[in-house]
Amino acid sequence: MSLNLYNTLTRSKDVFTPLRPDRVTVYVCGPTVYNHAHIGNARPAVVFDVLVRLLRTRHDRVIFARNVTDVDDKINAAAKATGQPISAITEKYATIYRSDMAALGVAAPDVEPHATAHIPQIIALIERLIASGHAYTAEGHVLFNVPAFAAYGKLSGRDRDDMIAGARVDVAPYKKDPADFVLWKPSTDDLPGWPSPWGRGRPGWHIECSAMIATHLGETIDIHGGGNDLIFPHHENELAQSACAHHGAPLAGVWMHNGFLTMDKEKMSKSLGNIVTVHELLTRAPGEAIRWALLSAHYRQPLDWSDDVLAQAKRTLDRFYLALDQVKGITATPTNAPNAMIAALDDDLNTPKAAAEIAALVKALNGATTDAEKARLKGEVLAAGKLLGILQQEPSQWLTAAAPDTNVDAGEIERLIAARIAARKAKDFKEADRIRDQIAAMGVVIEDRADGTRWRLAS
C-alpha cells in the first residue's frame, strides 16, 4: 500500500515518496491574525491534520509547520479601526486561533513561525533575488520580475492575461511588467516597518512564506498545502521566489489544495457576510462534531455547510460512542488502524470512504457476540478513530456532555433518574412514566439496561 496524493502542480494523483528517507516536511499557510477564524478557515487545518496523522503512521519524523501571518495590511486596518496596538490584535487572535483549532482536535504544528520574527531572513532572500536578476528596486519597493521566471503560471495553469487580471494589480508606473509583484514595500511612520537596504518598510505576504519555509524546513519540502484560493497568486508567487532564490530547486514536491466551504452554495467570505466563526460554533456544538462534519466531504470537493451537516455529524458520533459505551467493561486489544481505513486515506485522503469504514467497524462491534471479538473490534474502532482524530473521549463523557449552550444539568438528571427508579421499585408506574416524560422534555434520552439506567442528550 502506498499513499497517493493529488498534486495541483502535476494535476494528477501521484504516489507520494518523501524526498529524504529520514524525514517528511509539510508546510501549510496559516491564518492572518486580525479576527476570528471562520469555519471555512478551519477546513484546511482539519484536513492537513488528518494528512499529518496519516504520515506519522509511516514515518518516524514528520515536521509540520503552519505559520502565523502577523504583518498584513488587514491587520493594520483592524488596529486603526479599533484603536489597539497591532501586537495586541495579532497576539489575541493567534491565541484564539490556537485554542479554536485545538477544540477541533487539530494537533499543534511542530513549528509555528511568525512572519515578524523572520524579517532578517526575508531581507536576505530578497537580496538573493535582486543579485540573481529576478527582482529589482523601484521607488522604495522591491518587485519580483515575473518574466525572469519562465515557469511562472505553471501551478495555477493561468495564462498571462488571466494572471494580470487575477492578480488585481493596480499597475504602478514603476513596475517593469504588469504581473510583477511586491516583495518589499515602504512603510509610513504610522505603519509597522523595519530598516532594510531599501529603506524602512515591510515585506509582502508571499515572500514571508518562502523565507519561513527555507528557514525551518529547507529549500525543498515534501508537501505544501492550503485552500485553493491560495493557488494564485500566493502559491504561484511563493513557488517562483523560492525556485529563483535557490538555483531552481523546487519549493515543494506535492502541492495540495482543499476545496471551498460554502453556505447555501455561496463561498463563505467576509465580504458576503455569510460567515460562521469557529468560536461561535463551539458554543453550540462539540468540537469533535464540527471536525467530523468538516471531514464528511472529500477535501478537494466543495462542502456546503449547514446546521444539518453538523447535526448529522453529531448523530453519527453519538452512535459510535454509544457502541463504545456498550463495551466499556471490555479492554480493547491494542492494534493499528485497520488496513481498509488506511487504504481509504491512502487514496488522496478519502475521508468519506474512511467514515464508511469506521461505520462498518462500529456495526460489527454492535453485532459482536464474544468478548474476544468485542475486544478486537473495540481496539480497531479506537485506532481508526485516533487516525481520524475522533472517538478518544470517554463514551460516558461524550454521551452526557451537554452542548455548551444547553441548560441540561447532569446532577438534576441523575436525581430524576434515581427518583424514577424509586418509583418503579414502589410499583408507582404512573409516577415513573411522568418522570421519564419530564426527562425527555429536557432533551435527554434514557435507556434502561441490565447494568442500570443510562442517559444522553437527544441528538
The residues that touch ligand AMP, with contacts defined as CB under 6 A, are 29, 31-32, 40-41, 43-44, 226-227, 229-230, 258, 260-261, 267-268
Shortest distance (Å) from residue 420 CB to Zn ion: 58
Q: Which candidate, 176, 182, 179, places its Cα nearest to that of 129? A: 182
Of 29 and 78, nearer to Zn ion (C-beta) is: 29
Strand duo 62-66 + 24-28: pairing: parallel
| Total number of residues that touch Zn ion (CB under 5 A) | 2
Show the DSSP H helices in 17-85 as ranges: 39-58, 73-82
* Least Cβ distance, residue 41 to ligand AMP (angstroms): 4
Q: 74 vs 128, which CB is nearer to ligand AMP?
A: 74
33 binding Zn ion? (CB under 5 A): no
> Using CA atoms, how far apart are residues 386 and 361, in angstroms rounded to an integer?
14
Q: Give DSSP secondary structure letters for 130-141.
A: HHTTSEEEETTE
365 interacts with Zn ion by CB under 5 A: no
Q: What angle do CA 420, 426, 427 make, to 5 degrees?
A: 90
* Shortest reach from residue 327's CB to ligand AMP, in Å: 37
Question: 86, 190 in Cβ contact below 8 A?
Answer: no
Nearer to ligand AMP, 44 or 233 (CB): 44
> Using CB distances below 5 to 8 A depending on partner kind, what does residue 209 bind out of ligand AMP, Zn ion, none?
Zn ion
Q: Cα separation of 183 and 205, whole Å?
A: 8
Residues 248-287 that bind Zn ion (CB under 5 A): none
Residue 386 interacting partner from Zn ion, ligand AMP, none (CB closer than 5 to 8 Å by kind): none
Q: DSSP per residue over 335-396, as a string?
A: -PPPHHHHHHHHBT--HHHHHHHHHHHHHHHHH--SHHHHHHHHHHHHHHHHHHT-S-S-HH
In the complex, minimum distance from the CB of residue 236 to ligand AMP, in angstroms, rounded to a whole number = 14
Q: Which does 43 bind (CB under 5 to 8 A by kind): Zn ion, ligand AMP, none?
A: ligand AMP
Give the residue, chosen from 50, 209, 213, 432, that forms a contact with Zn ion under the rule CB under 5 A: 209
Partner whose binding site includes residue 8, from ligand AMP, Zn ion, none (CB under 5 to 8 Å by kind): none
Q: How far is the CB of 235 from ligand AMP (least distance, A)?
A: 10
Minimum CB separation of residue 201 from ligand AMP in Å reads: 22
Give the C-alpha distances (Å, rounded to integers) separating 270 from 214, 220, 266, 276, 291.
32, 34, 12, 10, 22
Please count the other Cβ atoms lying within 10 Å of the Cβ belonging to residue 91. Answer: 15
44 binds, among Zn ion, ligand AMP, none (CB under 5 to 8 A by kind): ligand AMP
Q: Are 402 and 443 in contact (CB under 8 A)?
A: no
Binding of Zn ion by 29 (CB under 5 A): yes
Residue nearest ligand AMP, Cβ-based: 227
Nearer to Zn ion, 196 or 210 (CB): 210
> Please, which residue, 221 or 417, has the CB nearer to ligand AMP?
221
Residue 232 in contact with residue 158, Cβ under 8 Å?
A: yes
Q: Which is nearer to Zn ion, 205 or 292 (CB)?
A: 205
Residue with cell 495555477: 156
| Residue 67: CB minimum distance to Zn ion, A | 7
Q: Which residues pair with 135 in a beta bridge?
A: 144
CB of 166 to ligand AMP, least distance (A): 15
CA distances (Å), 72 to each of 31, 44, 96, 198, in order? 11, 20, 18, 19
- At 18, is the secondary structure helix, strand, or coil? coil
Q: Summarize as ranges the residues that interact with Zn ion (CB under 5 A).
A: 29, 209
